[in-house]
């Protein structure tokens, strides 16, 4: 799913940046991917993806269903 429309950044790109260890904060992701550097409308969503990915690093077996409910609530009902 696209998180930053201005830069064409997806949740997968953000998640991979965190999971591969090259980012641990919104600032890191902004510097690496450019997310939130134009209109800023995606900053909150990007931060949510980052927080979920960081949690997944700690508990990988429990995060996928939770992430699906947070980001795709209509599909999980």
CATH code of the domain covering residue 21: 1.10.10.1100
- Give the whole-angstrom CA distance, residue 11 versus residue 45: 9
With respect to residue 26, please indicate whether it lies within any of the assigned structural domains.
yes
The answer to whether position 46 is within a domain reads yes
More confident residue, 77 or 57: 57
Give me the pLDDT at residue 58, please.
Answer: 81
Q: Which domain holds residue 39?
A: 2-71
CA distances from 69 to 20, 30, 34, 46, 77 (A): 23, 25, 26, 16, 9
C-alpha neighbours within 13 Å on the C-beta side of residue 58: 6
- Tell whether 77 is covered by a domain: no
Token digits for 1? 């799913």
Q: Which pLDDT belongs to residue 19?
A: 93
Look at residue 72 and tell me whether its pLDDT is greater than 60. Answer: no
Residue 27 lies in a domain: yes
State pLDDT tens for residues 13-69.
999 999 999 999 999 999 999 999 999 999 999 999 999 999 988 865 545 555 555
Structural domains counted in the chain: 1
For residue 76, tell me if it sits in a domain.
no
Domain-embedded: residue 25: yes
């Amino acid at each position: 799913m696209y998180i930053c429309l201005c830069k064409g950044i997806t949740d997968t790109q953000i998640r991979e940046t965190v999971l591969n260890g090259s980012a641990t904060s919104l600032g890191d992701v902004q510097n690496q991917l450019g997310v939130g550097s134009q209109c800023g409308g995606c900053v909150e969503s990007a931060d949510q993806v980052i927080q979920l990915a960081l949690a997944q690093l700690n508990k990988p077996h429990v995060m996928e269903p939770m992430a699906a409910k947070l980001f795709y609530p209509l599909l999980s009902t």
